[in-house]
Structure 1
Amino acid sequence: MSKKVVEVKTLKVGKYVIINDEASKITSISTSSPGKHGAAKARVEAVGIFDNQKRTFVKPVDAKCDVPMIDKNLGQVLAIMGNDVQLMDMETYETFEIEIPEELKGKINEGAEVDYIVAMGNKKLMRIKSG
Structure 2
Amino acid sequence: MARQQTEVRELDEGSYVMIEDTPCKIDSYSTAKPGKHGSAKARIDARGVFDSKKRSLSQPVDAKIWVPIVNRKQGQVVSTDGGDAQVMDLETYDTFTMLMPDDVDLEPDDEIEYLEYEDQRKITRS
TM range (shorter): over 0.9
Is the contact made by 1:23 and 1:120 (CA closer than 8 Å) also made in structure 2?
no
Unmatched runs of 5 consecutive residues or more in structure 2? none
Displacement after TM superposition at 1:109 (Å): 1.3
Matched, 1:56 2:56: yes
**What is the match of residue 93 of structure 2?**
93
**What is the match of residue 42 of structure 2?**
42
Q: Where do 4+ consecutive residues of structure 1 move more than 2 Å?
A: none
Distance in 2 (CA, whole Å) between partners of 1:60 and 1:101 is: 36
Is the contact made by 1:68 and 1:120 (CA closer than 8 Å) also made in structure 2?
no
Question: Of residues 107, 110, 113 in structure 1, which corresponds to 2:108?
Answer: 110
- Give the secondary structure class of the aligned counterpart of 1:9: helix
**What is the match of residue 127 of structure 1?**
125
Q: Report 1:10-25 matches (<5 A).
A: 10-25=10-25
Distance in 2 (CA, whole Å) between partners of 1:120 and 1:12 is: 23
Distance in 2 (CA, whole Å) between partners of 1:29 and 1:120 is: 26
Q: What amino acid sits opposite 1:126 in the alignment? A: T
State the Cα RMSD in Å. 0.8
Distance in 1 (CA, whole Å) between partners of 2:57 and 2:73 is: 30
TM-score normalised to the size of structure 1? Answer: 0.93
Q: What amino acid sits opposite 2:60 in the alignment? A: P
Distance in 2 (CA, whole Å) between partners of 1:71 and 1:4 is: 14
Aligned residues: 126
**What is the match of residue 3 of structure 2?**
3
Unmatched runs of 5 consecutive residues or more in structure 1? none
Displacement after TM superposition at 1:62 (Å): 0.3
Distance in 2 (CA, whole Å) between partners of 1:37 and 1:71 is: 40
Displacement after TM superposition at 1:63 (Å): 0.2
Per-residue deviation, residues 67-88 of structure 1 (Å, max 9, x unmatched): 1111111111000111110001
Distance in 2 (CA, whole Å) between partners of 1:43 and 1:121 is: 29
